[in-house]
Amino acid sequence: MHWKIYHNPRCSKSRQALQMLRDNGIEPRIVEYLKNPPSAAEVLELMHMAPGPARDLLRTDDAAFRESGIDPDAVDTAALAEAVGREPRLLQRPIVVCGQRAVIGRPPEAIRTLLEAQP
């Protein structure tokens, strides 16, 4: 299985998620999304892989989100993905991907759903 983590090393939850993966023998591909922002297409793909509404992948309580003026209930998924592509600080963190599934690692224990599903 291919594992990936959209990671912010300054975030304690992101560090905990990465450590949880490593504690389970997984060395994921680390994407420091603030240094190497995902494209709108990549964000859209994440939105389709993660359970729940697309808006769950947004940091709606972050100042950058409030400043963006985006109403996540009024715009479509593609527009949300484009907004994150332009401003990666809007992306929730961490996001862990395994194969075709993704979860938001807040709290880090949410990653267990992916760990338990691996063969």
pLDDT at position 101: 94
CB under 8 Å to 94, separation ≥6 — which residues? 5, 6, 7, 8, 11, 13, 14, 17, 18, 104, 105, 106, 108
Q: Out of 4, 11, 34, 77, which one is annotated catalytic?
A: 11
pLDDT at position 13: 94
Q: What is the Cα–Cα distance from 21 to 115, expressed in whole angstroms?
A: 8
The strand pairing partners of 104, in sequence order, are 95
93-114 burial, b at 16+ Cβ within 10 Å, e below that, comes to bbbbbbeeebbbbbebebbeeb
How much is the pTM? 0.91
pLDDT at position 26: 95
pLDDT at position 105: 93
pLDDT under 70 in the chain at which residues?
Answer: 119
Say whether 98 is catalytic.
Answer: no
By the 8 A CB rule, do 71 and 83 touch? no
Q: What is the Cα–Cα distance from 86 to 96, expressed in whole angstroms?
A: 21
For residue 69, the SS3 value is coil
pLDDT at position 108: 85
pLDDT at position 62: 83
pLDDT at position 119: 67
CATH class of 3-117: alpha beta
Q: What is the Cα–Cα distance from 110 to 21, expressed in whole angstroms?
A: 12
